Amino acid sequence: MVDWQQITRHARRQDGAVSLGQLRLAGMTDDQVLRACATGRLHRRHRGVFVVGSDVPTRHGRLWAASLAAGPGAWLYGLTALELLGLRPPAGDAIHLGAPTRRRTRGAVVLHEASRVEARHLWRRRGMAVAFPPLALLGAAPSLDDDALAVLVANAVARRMTAPPRMLAAAEHVLRHPGVPALRRVVAAELADPGHGRTHAEMVARFLALLRALPGLPPYRRNEPLHLAEDHVVVPDVWFPGPRVWLELESRTWHEQRRAMDRDRRKDQRAAALGVVVFRITWQQLLHEWERVARDLLAVLAR
> Residues with Cβ < 8 Å from 196, sequence gap 6 or more?
190, 253
Q: How far is CA 232 from CA 131, 137, 237, 238, 274, in A?
A: 38, 35, 16, 18, 13
Please give the Cα distance from 154 to 131 (Å, whole number): 18
pLDDT, position 288 = 86
* Cα–Cα distance for residue pair 103/72, rounded to 1 Å: 11
Q: Please tell me the predicted confidence (pLDDT) of residue 105.
A: 64
Among 47, 46, 25, 23, residue whose Cα is nearest residue 36: 23
Q: What is the DSSP letter of 129?
A: E
Distance, in Å, from the CA atom of 51 to the CA atom of 23, rounded to the nearest integer, reads: 11
Which residues of the chain fall below pLDDT 70? Answer: 92, 102-107, 115-116, 175, 194-197, 229-231, 252-261
Q: Give phi and psi for 229, each to the nearest 5.
A: -160, 170
Cα–Cα separations (whole angstroms), residue 233 to 193, 202, 225, 261 = 30, 24, 6, 18
Write the burial class of residue 302 (CB in 10 Å: 0-12 exposed, 13-18 middle, 19+ buried): exposed
pLDDT of 104 reads 64
> What residues pair up with 50 in beta bridges, in sequence order?
18, 44
| Number of residues assigned to the chain | 303
pTM: 0.70
